[in-house]
Amino acid sequence: MVMKNKKGQAAMEYLMTYGWVLISILVIIALLISSGVFDTGKFINQECKITPDFPCLTPAGEQLGDVYKVRFNFTNALGYKINIQGIELTDINTGQTITNTDIDITGGELSPGDSVQIAGNFEGIAEGDLRTFYLTFEYFRVDGGSVYQRTVSGRIKTKIE
């Protein structure tokens, strides 16, 4: 009888030891995930995500004295002609926002398949910084007599060179 109790005690000690190890490992993994160690966004130099209807290409940033310029292209993939209005570009790191009057835009009216380049100047940054921008713009569908407004937003991430 005494032998059976010893085997049960050994089994319980085995389960308890490995149980605490397993709990410790789970806590460590949870701490690493919450600290952002596994965030792949920190390693990406460039990304441009608006919507599938507006594919975004070639985000770039360059330093020009004490200002920096961010520029990118996106294409009208909607299948109908639009007129772009109400552009706003915000630097998420500093909170600085530029709007239509501060943004260079080539070609405000876009036919299907046409691309537009958007560029804007921001202040207070150093070369080599990685910046994330939030883009919002409105567009009007121009199709015969029907005109309606839509708002689109996206994220642009680029390294200042």
CATH code: domain of residue 138: 2.60.40
In this predicted structure, what is the pLDDT of residue 41?
A: 60
Instruction: Name the residue with higher pLDDT: 110 or 45.
Output: 110
In this predicted structure, what is the pLDDT of residue 101?
A: 64
Over range 88-103, report the average pLDDT.
80
**Per-chain mean pLDDT for the chain:** 80
Q: How far apart are the C-alpha atoms of 22 and 32, rounded to whole Å?
A: 15
Q: Which two tokens stand for residue 155?
A: 């994220």
Quote the domain boundaries for residue 16.
2-38
The values of phi and psi at residue 93, to 5°, are -70, -40
Count up the domains in the chain and report the number: 2
Over range 101-120, report the average pLDDT.
73
Over range 70-80, report the average pLDDT.
85
Whether this prediction's pTM lies above 0.85 is answered by no
In this predicted structure, what is the pLDDT of residue 69?
A: 80
49 CA to centre of own chain: 6
In this predicted structure, what is the pLDDT of residue 97?
A: 86
Gyration radius of the chain's alpha carbons: 26
Q: Which two tokens stand for residue 153?
A: 């937003």
Is residue 57 located within the same domain as residue 131?
yes
Q: Which helix (H) or strand (E) holds 1?
A: none
In this predicted structure, what is the pLDDT of residue 104?
A: 59
Is residue 110 located within the same domain as residue 141?
yes
